[in-house]
Amino acid sequence: MAENQDRPDGVANTDRRALMLGIAGASTVLTIKPALAQSTGSVLNCQIPVPDPGRTGMYIAADGMTVAANTPGSFPPAMRPFTGEQVKRALRGNTLPGTTYQQSQAYLNYIRRLQAGQSGFTCFASLQMPGR
Amino acid sequence: MMLRYAAPPPGACLRDEAEGLTLLYHRASGQTHILIEPAPHILDALADAPMTEGELLATLAAAFEVNQAEAVGERLAELVAAGLVSTS
């Protein structure tokens, strides 16, 4: 078979490169948003609800798991979200505002268990970055 | 009036090529964009001067054998949505 065949559509080969402008069902630009690349100020002002809105009304056990309301040994949900700054201080030994020591520890255990996709995860992850 | 499309000014982005992909870090937004053909060629063409869709097609056609020219609007819309191309 000849290697330098003309194209099947009858158009002769040229030296110019082909540039396809149509990309079926695909995008030619993928943007990576800097979810963690926030300024120090915005990290400290970000918020972590305990628990996240998907589990509103659930209580927080000492190990940080969410449990049914009024489960013995568990703590009621936090009245309002904590800020990154409050959580950062608590991780250094302070208690979260408006909580007892045990309650604060339970909330911090909950926050440590946060996973991607849960409200507050990005905020908590940001606190782990060097220099925060 | 026809829309004119413009690429970011020189120095607005850091650019690198890797394995057929073009990586662009847009300083102002802090966002990183991964581009595949023909997006980098469109940005290159617009870097010389803002132009209309028709002018862009003519510029690309001077350098390449352009296929599916009717899709140029979609490609421009992607770049505008990403904040890499502005309109005036």
A54-93: pLDDT as tens digits: 888 999 999 999 999 999 999 999 999 999 889 988 988 8
B26-79: pLDDT as tens digits: 888 777 888 888 999 999 999 989 999 999 999 999 999 999 999 999 999 999
Question: Hey, of A9, A20, A21, which one would you mutate to test binding to chain B, going by the most B CBs within 10 A of its CB?
Answer: A21
Cα–Cα–Cα angle for A116, A121, A127, rounded to 5 degrees: 130
**Residue reference for tokens 């850091």:** B14
Contacts of residue B70, defined as CB under 8 A and 6 or more positions apart, other chains included, come to A21, A22
Residues of B within 8 A of A19 (CB-CB) are 37-38, 41, 60, 63-67
CB-CB: which of B63, B75, B84 is closest to A21? Answer: B75
Q: How high does pLDDT run on average in chain A?
A: 80
Burial A32-67 (b: 16+ CB within 10 A, else e): eeeeeebeeeebbebebbbbbeebeebbbbeebbbb
Question: Hey, of B34, B41, B85, which one would you mutate to test binding to chain A, going by the most A CBs within 10 A of its CB?
Answer: B34
Query: What is the value of pTM for the model shown?
Result: 0.52
Beta strands in chain B (DSSP E): 5-6, 13-18, 21-26, 31-35, 65-67, 86-87
Would the CB atoms of B33 and A33 count as touching at under 8 Å? no
Residues of A within 8 A of B41 (CB-CB) are 19
